[in-house]
Amino acid sequence: MQRLKTRPQFQATMAGETVARTAHFALHRLALDAGGAAPVTTGPGTSPQALFAVPGVWLGALVPKRWARRAVTRNAIKRQIYGVASVFEPGLPQASHVVRLRAAFDRKQFVSACSDPLKQAVRAELQQLFERAAARPSSSSRAPA
């Protein structure tokens, strides 16, 4: 699994479809063709081949400060995202994926910035997210209606 690293990679993937949502997370997907290129253009001067040169599954984690104030919490959530995604990698289509935190976890329920209950809650929700995404085929593999 390749990791998204550049801003244009994240922007191109976020412009794709949202394939799954949970209470705290959203999974965005941009289908890639067999050569690893995205079928859509990402702006002037940027070719999709340059963004996703290696074919396969690409993954990025987007955890804004707005929803996770402490760096230790953001890093723990990112580790959980990459850990759960590696388990589900064989079932993911050849595409670019971004997991985005879209709501904060309750600070009254999870007092510590990096507690085991928080990690377990994040992991359980991420598993639901990837199960929902695996149940939904990518738009490029769907038959026309």
DSSP string of 99-145?
A: EEE-SPPPTTT--STT-HHHHHHHHHHHHHHHHHHHHSPPTTTSPP-
Query: What's the rounded Cα separation, in Å, for the pair 21 and 99?
Result: 10
Class of domain 2-135: alpha beta
pLDDT at residue 46 is higher than 60: no
- The residue extents of the domains of the chain are 2-135
Give the residue among 45, 36, 46 at the shortest CA–CA distance from 12. Answer: 46
pTM (two decimals) = 0.81
Q: Any idea which of 32-36, 50-54, 88-92 has the lowest mean pLDDT?
A: 32-36
Query: What's the rounded Cα separation, in Å, for the pair 77 and 124?
Result: 12
Q: Which residue has the higher pLDDT, 108 or 79?
A: 79
Mean pLDDT of 15-20: 91
Query: What's the rounded Cα separation, in Å, for the pair 5 and 45?
Result: 18
pLDDT at residue 43 is higher than 90: no
Q: How far apart are the first and last CA of the chain?
A: 32
pLDDT at residue 41 is higher than 70: no
Q: Which residue has the higher pLDDT, 57 or 34?
A: 57
Give the tens place of pLDDT for each residue, 91-109.
Answer: 888 889 999 999 999 888 8
DSSP per-residue letters across 100-112: EE-SPPPTTT--S
pLDDT at residue 129 is higher than 50: yes
pLDDT at residue 126 is higher than 50: yes
pLDDT at residue 35 is higher than 80: no
pLDDT in the model for residue 58: 92
Mean pLDDT of 36-59: 65
Give the residue among 88, 100, 14, 99 at the shortest CA–CA distance from 51. Answer: 14
